[in-house]
Amino acid sequence: MKTVNYPELAQTIAALTEGETDIVALMATIACEVNQADDRFDWTGFYRVVGPELLKIGPYQGGHGCLVIPFSRGVCGAAAKQRAIQLVDDVEDFAGHIACSTSTRSELVIPVENGDGDLLGVFDIDSDQPAAFTRKDADQIDLILRQAFKNATL
């Protein structure tokens, strides 16, 4: 079973995204690299802020995702609304969970901001395994996202 090597992943993403400020290019590259880094990661992708309290699907890897998610619904909406990492061991226990895929058992969602503090969207990782994610996963991926998006422009 392949598990993520965070120093190597961070280095690869930094090299691939060096000097890039385009949000979609960054999202596409990161979704691809993270998706391939660990067998626990069933679906990886971004939901972009497209309006007041509204997320829309962005670049992703895996099966289909929900197209539109309001901040008031689901794990992704909670991450955007609270601007806080959501680490969900069992999606069935999360009030208001949106089942974009019936195979999802656990979820990690991290808000994505640029260096100016603008909320660009959220990064969503789903797993078909319960309790697949740890605080280390959340913290390490959050660091990668902060580094990659620090100079991103709206």
**Could you give the domains of the chain?**
6-149 (3.30.450.40)
Mean pLDDT across 103-107: 92
pLDDT at 154: 76
* pTM for the whole structure: 0.96
pLDDT at 86: 97
Confirm if 3 and 137 have CB atoms less than 8 A apart: no
Say if residue 81's pLDDT is above 80.
Answer: yes
Mean pLDDT across 106-111: 97
For residues 114 and 109, give the distance between their C-alpha atoms in angstroms, rounded to a whole number.
16
Cα–Cα distances in angstroms (integers) from residue 67 to residues 11, 75, 80, 91, in the given order: 31, 14, 16, 19
Mean pLDDT across 117-140: 97
pLDDT at 97: 81
Buried-exposed string 22-39: b where 16+ CB fall within 10 A, e elsewhere: ebeebbbbbbbbbbebbe
Token pair recorded at residue 59: 């670049």
Q: What is the Cα 144 distance to its own chain's centre?
A: 11
Mean pLDDT across 57-69: 94
Confirm if 122 and 111 have CB atoms less than 8 A apart: yes
If you ran DSSP here, which 8-state letter would residue 93 be given?
Answer: G
Neighbours of 21 (CB within 10 A): 13
